[in-house]
Structure 1
Amino acid sequence: MAVTQQEIENRLWDAADELRVAMPEAQYSSVVFPLMFWKYLSDTWEHNHQEFLAQYEGLDGLSPEEAREIEYRDHQSFEIPFIHIGTVQERRASWSSILATVAQHGLGQRVRASLQAIESANPDKFSRLFGSMTWTSEAVLPGEVLASVMRAMDRTPKMHEGNMSHDVLGGAYEYLLKRFSDGSGTRAGQFFTPREVVELIIELLAPKNHESVYDPTCGSGGMLIAAANLLKAHGGRGYTLSLNGQEAVLDTSGVARMNLFMHNLTEFKVEVGDTLRDPRFKKPDGSVKQFDVIVANPPYSLKWKPWAKDPRAIGGVAPQSSADWAFVQHMIASMHPKKGRAGVVLPHGVLFRGGQEAAIRQRVLDNDLLEAIIGLPANLFYSTSIPTAILVLRAPGTKAKERQGGVLFIDASKRFTKAKNRNILTNANIADTVTAYHSGFDAAGNPVEPNGEGGLAARFVLTTDIVANGYDLNIGRYIKYAAADQEDLGALANAYNIARAERQKAEQHMLAVLSTAGIEGFGE
């Protein structure tokens, strides 16, 4: 009997809900995802093992060594080893084996030993996959609660290909990611970008068969998975993509790798480390590796230790108070020179802030690397309610001829549907934005074929006009908003940003005049 998506999701949530007596919802993912993936591995291994036994009719005529060689050559793609070998506690490190001991003392230690044994037995696939596993400590998660979670999760149907598709399994994993983020605010939401925002960015960048995709702040891996799913949905072969990500938090990187495995995507590499300080994807000469498609939703206005000397720092070094432009610089350095393109979500401040950020913004525009800016609605994300924008960049000299020497501005800030905890983009909202992105524009920068009343406000602005505005990229400078009674938070934020930028320019002019007159100290 086929397993429905609803059935597996409900039962997995029932298991997660057993944790409510022991920890806040923001911490559920650290327990549920390792347990879920362990059950998936164990169910898959045992299913394949039974097929092997059936084929060889109880292993008649095979020595243990021969049986093992044949099974792992023809039937298994990973190993579930034994733990506590040579003791009375010896048992296979499988879900069913440990589940049989849930009533015994020391359950957390047995679970930890099992997960560590699986990591050690499969270093190429599962090294450090399960993270720190602090939750296996009795002091963090009492054994009786862990037992309740495992019993509830065991009521989930068998998680192997003979019983459910990877579409169902991957969908269940994403359901839990979203459920945890919806209910727990920033802690879980900080590494989960809403699916519709991810889909919009991937639609804009349009990955193709056999291309490489890179996310320098990959979180739970959603953007990498979306790239493969979109390519498949458009008739391509998602499994041909080379998927690459880096994540600073060990446990979160494990969530991403498990997520990719659950979606049956095996051509991936997820590295652990701080991308700005220690980029892990490099060429033999030490420079950063380059990719066809780069996507990111980095932490906004992150305080960081600025580079002392780094070839990625085109136009200057981002200030210590905000690493926003440093992430953009890293993505630019990571673009393939002939077909690289990048999409990144950032707060509106990157469009107008002065100082070091203004110098970087100027270089990016002078080098004609920025193709489009798309203003998104406020309150789309789990970790912040501020309005954000997507910046689309292209490798030097690779813009389409009609897009060279300018930037496309799209205002999508009013296109959303209100939901319980946040605003969401509908499929129609995404489609309208993609249509505006692909539109043609006349000499005045206006859309040649605006999409009727449903069309988004968009304008192609020459770089010379942007230079005349002091390299200010505020969307409101170039797209006039509708009547005041239609103003929303996004429009008001843009108006504020413009006023703030004008004030900063006036202050800088005043300080220059005072300095010329020999009057110092006002700018300190």
Structure 2
Amino acid sequence: MALILAGTGQLTQRQLESALLSAANALRGPVDPGDYKAYVFPVMFFKWISDNWDYHHAEAVKDFGDNLTDEIEADYHPFAIPDGCHWDDVFETPVNVGSKLATCLQRIQQANPSLAGIFGDVNWANKDRLPESALVALLDTFQGVQLDPDSVTGDMLGAAYEYLLREFAEASGKKAGEFFTPRAVVHLLVKILDPQPGESVADPACGSGGMLVETVMAVRDAGGDPRTLSLHGQEVNLTTAAIAKMNLYLHGLEDFKIVRGDTFREPKLLDGAALQKFDVVIANPPFSLQNWGAETWTKDPYSRVICDVPPAKNGDYAWIQHMVATMTEGTGRVGVVMSNGVLFRGGKEAVIRECLVKRDLLEAVIGLAPNLFYSTAIPVCLLIFRSSKPIDRKGKILFIDASTRIQAGKNQGTLSDDDVNDISTAYRQGSNDNGRHGLGSRMVDIEEVAVNGFDLNIGRYIASEHTSEVNVEVALAAYREARTRLAELDAILESKLKAAGFDA
């Protein structure tokens, strides 16, 4: 049943979010909750384009009346809609609605090169995957929601999109980690990196684009002009890359570049044949990525092997080195979310860690609480790198223990606004403070880190009553995840053995 909101004037945030969640509920049953986003977001974006086309058409008619020509009207529309491909054309289709929708989405992309790939790769005509009744119900829900500027502001629409992302993440469980970073963590990381007007920003594992959107909000909230930012992202997953593009458009942004591809094997944010450099590089990449492409890095043409080639079965330090390699000289800074294992694991990772410390690129290590992320229950850390540290931080690394700062949530914890502010303040002040606001912080000379074998485990540098408890939590969480991974690998091996004719 449609929510009859069209024509009622400005929607409230609650009305808009309720309407969008009803659209997702229309798919309940035939579609796995983890796949809702692949269906709901393209339809939502199609409705938004159509409603905005109508809005701008009315403006053009008002301004020019009978003198309006196609050429004049084209200047009013940010996106072209080919004849027969408006929302109403699809909504009024009596049968084979999926085929009509697929054709229109394809034609809209062809008519607007900047929208290439934005609708993802759903086979809308596959009635076995998406019964026509479910698709009609989805369209019917959106039919009752007006998404033009008179009905919803850009901020409302962006906030509603983030609301849906969060709801879909809740429904997706661990799969959510592929596309969604908890917004409190994003907010914290952006506050620390402090993007400024006119700067270039990149996320090499951009997911749904939340990091890029947050940089825009930070600049705007500080009184700067976010339109002066140069935004870039790369994402390997087609659906997720499309979601990122929609996210940025629905937040009122137009000047950005989101590319799809494997960042390690085929980086696409380039300046000629070299990596493009950025003022701010920010990411929450997939942890402990296996088969990430180590073989291509033995002679990497993009000079990303700053220290050494990371282990073939763990791409954590590939992400770190890629991001560090893309910092601009002088102003560049990197903020990356990592599992705590990068702080102390041995082998090649220890070699790379020592090299980065000796080069004085690592500015801060910030330990967060466990159970903040959908994709893992283990605690994580934020690593902050700078191409050129401030004078008072050269030859030093700031350690911050924020492992006790967490607020209980439905499925996982979160950081409150106070948590975010206290942690970012501790970073900015950079002074020794063991215990204020439940935080421990200490500025440590690199010589002391060398004495500890370049082990960056926060407990080595900040003693607190929580240290042993946190270490036990880390060990138990890592053990549980290892057991889960082992079970998954056993199942894969058993399947392959059976396929080869062996009894497992």
Q: TM-score, normalised by structure 2?
A: 0.89
1:130 paired to 2:119: yes
Is this contact kept in 1: 2:96–2:125, CA < 8 A?
no
SS of equivalent residue, structure 1 residue 231: helix
Could you tell me how far apart the structure 2 residues matched to 1:483 and 1:172 are? 38
1:143 paired to 2:151: no
1:500 maps to: none
Is this contact kept in 1: 2:102–2:124, CA < 8 A?
no
1:111 maps to: 101
2:286 maps to: 299
Output the amino acid matched with 1:9. Answer: E
SS of equivalent residue, structure 1 residue 184: helix
1:196 paired to 2:196: no
Shift of 1:196: 0.4
Could you tell me how far apart the structure 2 residues matched to 1:32 and 1:267 are? 24
Could you tell me how far apart the structure 2 residues matched to 1:494 and 1:458 are? 20
Tell me which of 318, 321, 333 is aligned to 1:329: 321
SS of equivalent residue, structure 2 residue 313: coil
Structure 2 stretches lacking a partner, 5+ long? 1-8, 478-504
* Equivalent residues, number: 464
Is this contact kept in 2: 1:78–1:122, CA < 8 A?
yes
Shift of 1:162: 2.2
Shift of 1:130: 0.8
Is this contact kept in 2: 1:239–1:267, CA < 8 A?
yes
Shift of 1:412: 0.4
Could you tell me how far apart the structure 2 residues matched to 1:237 and 1:47 are? 26
| Mapping for residues 143-182 of structure 1, pairs under 5 Å | 143-156=132-145, 158-182=146-170
Is this contact kept in 2: 1:432–1:455, CA < 8 A?
no
Could you tell me how far apart the structure 1 residues matched to 2:463 and 2:445 are? 16
CA separation of 1:194 and 1:154: change in aligned 2, threshold 3 A: same
1:367 paired to 2:359: yes
SS of equivalent residue, structure 2 residue 160: helix
1:508 maps to: none
2:12 maps to: 4
Cα deviation code 1:213-251 (max 9, x no counterpart): 100000000000000001111111122111100000111
Could you tell me how far apart the structure 2 residues matched to 1:32 and 1:121 are? 22
1:227 maps to: 215
| Mapping for residues 62-461 of structure 1, pairs under 5 Å | 67-73=69-75, 75-82=76-83, 92-101=84-93, 104-123=94-113, 125-156=114-145, 158-284=146-272, 286-303=273-290, 304-306=292-294, 307-310=297-300, 311-395=303-387, 398-441=388-431, 446-447=432-433, 453-454=436-437, 456-461=439-444
SS of equivalent residue, structure 2 residue 330: coil
Q: Which has the larger radius of gyration?
A: 1
Could you tell me how far apart the structure 2 residues matched to 1:483 and 1:40 are? 50
CA separation of 1:476 and 1:153: change in aligned 2, threshold 3 A: same
Cα deviation code 1:255-290 (max 9, x no counterpart): 000000000011110000000111101122x22110
Output the amino acid matched with 1:129. Answer: I
Output the amino acid matched with 1:76. Answer: H
Cα deviation code 1:287-334 (max 9, x no counterpart): 211000000000000012202212211111000110000000000110
Could you tell me how far apart the structure 2 residues matched to 1:167 and 1:44 are? 15
Is this contact kept in 2: 1:371–1:406, CA < 8 A?
yes
Segment drifting more, 333-342 vs 185-194: 185-194
Is this contact kept in 2: 1:34–1:130, CA < 8 A?
yes
1:516 maps to: none
Shift of 1:15: 1.2
Q: Compute the RMSD of aligned alpha carbons.
A: 1.6
SS of equivalent residue, structure 1 residue 214: strand
Output the amino acid matched with 1:180. Answer: F
Could you tell me how far apart the structure 2 residues matched to 1:476 and 1:468 are? 15
Cα deviation code 1:375-426 (max 9, x no counterpart): 011010111111000000001xx10111110110000010010111000000
Is this contact kept in 2: 1:212–1:292, CA < 8 A?
yes
Q: Which portions of structure 1, spanning 4 or more consecutive aligned residues, are displaced by more than 4 angstroms? A: 493-497
Shift of 1:105: 2.0
Could you tell me how far apart the structure 1 residues matched to 2:382 and 2:61 are? 54
